[in-house]
């Protein structure tokens, strides 16, 4: 089961909570100028793997609180119907949610914890998927962050620890929004082949499915736990495109929209070493490095031929091809064998 | 090939007696002291501590084979090196370097080391020494 934490303004949170709907923006702040393709595709990338019953927490910016525990009730979609009172935005990249049935009592009271409490458990290394909820300079601004499911237990524990009826006065009267006319978020993916966020969005969706072309190609059967833009370590601020675990295997997936070059391979190998050194990582599990691109530099292929002779180095080269007018992609395993002659 | 050098016939024996003899072989690291030789019986490797003014500065792992080191031998050395990096250095390959001494190395071994050293450019390189 997936889990997400979504940032929202204090102005918009009461409406979102009451109507059980969250939306992300289409325009640049305070204008009718569309967000660029890279940014729109990053929003799609971060949302597209969300499934019904996934857990959701909300970070209310400004109030510095984290609210929970909610559950996805309608998978992500695109709809411009006006809900929030904003002059420019309809926040059309949306999903719907409701109180998690096991924690309804908390949600009725809009239970929350302070962001500082949240940071305490991040600092202790009890949360792997996040290093900060803030928007940081030189790091992509993201309102939706996917968490590893193992991290949700700590957040739930905090929400229960800090819950007290005395803190909350009024119960929430939910008045769920009925979405009627919408587009599937999958149909909003575009520019696969030219923007990295697009192929990453495809992979995120395919990882969330029980079976998919991508999962078959990399040898992943059944469900997996995964998160994108996964910080390798708190202070290095280096993010892995996708980190995923299943059974006793772990994979680091690095995506390039075009050709994967030597630097991409070096970077992936470095990230893998950093993960191995983390205290929380089970060092008996092998980490597969998966490089995804539209092609691979011959020096990358040559290096992989040699490095793969030692099993612990397992590196896969997965080629993607844009399909459906660059609105999706399919994958093939291009990992060279030792008798490859370049 | 970078990180490939020659070594004297009796240099290894000198290292076994006095690990600090490594200063004469690893000229780029001769500011360090090499101490506490440990023989790792199962892997036929020796582990030497690297220090600077009593501060720990990592390890050198040395393997020697009088015959040509071909792929299977090398793989065993390398897997032992990985195990030791895991146990002693928490998988931090920047803290431990592998040094192999032999009469020669096969092309397959040399090519692997070349690619490894190029791609893992932040780890300590594998160094190959041919007995002259």
CA distance B19 to B21: 5
Q: Note the pLDDT of residue A133.
A: 79
Residues of A in contact with B91 (CB under 8 A): 273, 276-277, 283
Alpha-carbon Rg of chain B, whole angstroms?
14
For residue B24, give how far its alpha carbon lies from the nearest alpha carbon of chain A (Å): 31
| Rounded Cα distance, B6 and A88, in Å | 72
Mean pLDDT score, A323-341: 87
Q: Does B72 touch chain A (CB under 8 A)?
A: no
Residue A276: closest CA among chain B residues belongs to which residue?
Answer: B91
Query: How far is residue A147's CA from residue A231's CA, in Å, rounded to a whole number?
Result: 11
Greatest Cα pair distance, chain B, in angstroms, is 40
Of B75, B78, B91, the CB nearest to A273: B91
User: Is A306 part of the contact surface with chain B (CB cutoff 8 Å)?
Assistant: yes
- Contact at CB, A273 and B115, closer than 8 angstroms: no
pLDDT tens-digit profile of A301-322? 999 999 999 987 899 999 999 9
Distance from CA of A282 to the nearest CA of B (A): 12
In angstroms, the separation between the Cα of residue A259 and the nearest Cα of chain B is: 17
Test B116 with A306 for CB contact under 8 angstroms: yes
**What is each CA distance from A165 to A114, A240, B107, in whole angstroms?**
16, 40, 73
pLDDT band at A168 (very low <50, low <70, confident <90, very high): low
pLDDT of residue A109: 87
The per-residue pLDDT of chain B, averaged, comes to 93
pLDDT > 70 in chain B, percent? 100
Strands (E), B15-109: 33-40, 45-52, 55-65, 96-102
Torsion of CA A214, A219, A224, A225, to 10 degrees: -80
Q: For residue B64, which of B113, B16, B102, B26 has the smallest C-alpha distance?
A: B102
pTM: 0.94
Q: What pLDDT, on the 0 to 100 scale, is given for residue A166?
A: 66
Segment A222-227 shows an average pLDDT of 94
Q: Which residues of B touch A269 (CB under 8 A)?
A: 119-120
Q: Is B93's Cβ below 8 Å from some Cβ in A?
A: yes
Per-residue pLDDT tens digits for A271-290: 999 999 988 898 888 899 99
**Which pLDDT does position A136 carry in this prediction?**
65
pLDDT tens for A23-73 read: 999 999 888 999 999 999 999 999 999 999 999 999 999 889 999 999 999
Measured in angstroms, the CA of A123 and the nearest CA of chain B are apart by 20
Which of B123, B81, B113, B90 lies closest to B2 in space, CA to CA?
B113
**CB-based contact A68:A57 (threshold 8 Å):** yes
Any A CB within 8 A of B52 CB: no
Residue found by looking up tokens 């601020």 in the block: A237
Provide the pLDDT for residue A164.
75
pLDDT band with cut points at 50, 70 and 90 for residue A169: low
Is the ipTM higher than 0.85? The answer is yes
């Amino acid at each position: 089961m997936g889990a997400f934490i979504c940032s929202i303004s204090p102005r918009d949170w009461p409406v979102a909570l009451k109507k059980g709907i969250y939306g992300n923006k289409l325009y640049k702040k305070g204008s009718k100028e569309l967000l660029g393709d890279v940014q729109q595709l990053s929003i799609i990338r971060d949302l597209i793997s969300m499934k019904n019953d996934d857990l959701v927490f909300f970070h209310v910016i400004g109030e510095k609180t984290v609210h929970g525990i909610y559950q996805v009730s309608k998978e992500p979609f695109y709809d411009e119907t006006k809900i929030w009172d904003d002059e420019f935005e309809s926040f059309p990249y949306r999903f719907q949610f409701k109180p998690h049935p096991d924690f309804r009592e908390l949600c009725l009271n809009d239970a929350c914890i302070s962001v500082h409490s949240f940071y305490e458990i991040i600092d202790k290394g009890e949360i792997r998927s996040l290093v900060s909820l803030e928007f940081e300079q030189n790091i992509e601004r993201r309102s939706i962050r996917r968490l590893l499911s193992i991290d949700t237990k700590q957040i739930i524990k905090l929400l229960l620890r800090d819950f007290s009826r005395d803190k909350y006065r009024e119960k929430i009267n939910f008045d769920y929004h009925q979405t009627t006319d919408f587009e599937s978020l999958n149909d909003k993916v575009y520019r696969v082949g030219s923007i990295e966020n697009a192929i990453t969005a495809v992979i995120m969706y395919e990882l969330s499915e029980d079976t998919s072309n991508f999962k078959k190609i990399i040898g992943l059967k059944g469900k997996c736990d995964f998160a994108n833009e996964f910080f390798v370590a708190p202070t290095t601020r280096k993010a892995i495109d996708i980190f995923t675990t299943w059974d006793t295997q772990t994979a680091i997936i690095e995506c390039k929209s075009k050709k994967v070059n030597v630097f991409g391979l070096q970077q992936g190998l470095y990230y893998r070493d950093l993960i191995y050194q983390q205290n929380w990582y089970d060092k008996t599990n092998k980490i597969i490095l998966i490089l995804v691109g539209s092609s691979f530099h011959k020096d990358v292929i040559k290096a992989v031929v040699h490095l793969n002779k030692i099993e612990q180095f397992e590196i896969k080269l997965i080629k993607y091809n844009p399909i459906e007018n660059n609105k999706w992609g399919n994958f093939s395993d291009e990992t060279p064998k030792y008798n490859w002659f370049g | 090939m970078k990180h490939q050098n020659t070594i004297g016939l009796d240099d290894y024996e000198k290292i076994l007696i006095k690990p600090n003899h490594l200063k004469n072989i690893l000229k780029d690291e001769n500011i360090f002291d090499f101490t506490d030789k440990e023989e790792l019986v199962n892997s036929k490797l020796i582990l030497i501590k690297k220090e600077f003014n009593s501060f720990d500065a990592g390890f050198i792992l040395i393997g020697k084979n009088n015959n040509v080191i071909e792929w299977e031998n090398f793989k065993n050395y390398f897997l032992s090196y990985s195990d030791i990096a895991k146990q002693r250095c928490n998988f931090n390959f920047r803290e431990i370097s592998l040094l192999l001494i032999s009469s020669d190395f096969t092309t397959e071994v040399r090519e692997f080391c070349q690619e490894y050293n190029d791609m893992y450019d932040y780890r300590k390189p594998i160094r190959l020494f041919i007995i002259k």
